Amino acid sequence: MLNISKKTKIVATIGPASNTLEKVRELIDAGMNVMRINFSHGTYETHKIIIDISKQLIKEHIYIPTMLDTAGPEIRCHFFENGKVEIIKDSIVTIHMKEILGTATEFSVNYPKLVDDIHVGDMIKIDDGKLRLDVIEICKQKRVIKVKAFNTHVISNRKGVNIPGERMTLPALSDRDRKDIKFGVENGIDLIAASFTRRAEDVIQLKEYLKELGAPDIPIIAKIENKQGVDNINEILEVADGIMVARGDMGVDIPPEEVPVMQSDIILECRKIGKPVIVATQMLDSMQSNPLPTRAEVSDVATAIKEGADAVMLSAETASGQYPVESAAMQQRIAITMEQFLPYTQLANFGYNYSKKKRSDAIATSVASTANLIDAKAIVCFSETGKSAIRISKSRPKCPIVMVTSDPAAGMRVAPYFGIFSIVVKTLPQLIEDMEAFALIKMRQLGLKPNDNVIITGGTPTGTGSTNFLRIVAVNELGDI
Catalytic residues: 36, 76, 223, 281
Paired residues of 348 in beta bridges? none
In contact, 194 and 203? CB cutoff 8 Å:
yes
Kindly write down the DSSP assignment for every residue of 314-340, as one continuous string: ESHHHHT-S-HHHHHHHHHHHHHHHHT
> What is the torsional sign of CA 42, 46, 48, 53?
negative
Under 8 Å CB-to-CB from 340, ≥6 apart: which residues?
none
- C-alpha closest to that of 185 among 16, 66, 33, 42: 66
The CA-based dihedral angle spanning residues 362, 366, 369, 373, taken in that order and rounded to the nearest 10 degrees: 160
- The span from the CA of 280 to the CA of 39, in Å, is 16
Which DSSP helix (H) or strand (E) runs through 206? Answer: helix 200-212
Beta-carbon contacts of residue 261 (< 8 Å; ≥ 6 apart): none
Cα separation, 284 vs 129, in Å, equals 18
| Closest by CA position to 418, among listed 48, 10, 31, 8 | 8
CB–CB of 55/21 below 8 Å?
Answer: no
d(Cα 134, Cα 144) in Å, to the nearest integer?
A: 14
Q: Which helix (H) or strand (E) holds 126?
A: strand 123-126
Distance from C-alpha of 382 to C-alpha of 314, rounded to nearest angstrom: 31
Provide the angle, in degrees to the nearest 10, between the axes of the packed helices 259-273 and 295-307.
30
Write the Ramachandran bin of 233: left for phi over 0, alpha for psi from -120 to 50, otherwise beta. alpha
Following DSSP, what letter does each residue of 346-365 receive, concatenated? HHHHHHHHTS---HHHHHHH
Sequence-distant (6+) residues with CB within 8 A of 404 are 380, 381, 382, 383, 422, 423, 425, 428, 435, 438, 439, 442, 458
Burial letters 190-212, b for 16+ CB under 10 A, else e: bbbbbbbbbbbebbeebbebbee
Q: How far apart are alpha carbons 257 and 384 in whole angstroms? A: 43
φ, ψ for residue 434, nearest 5 deg: -70, -35
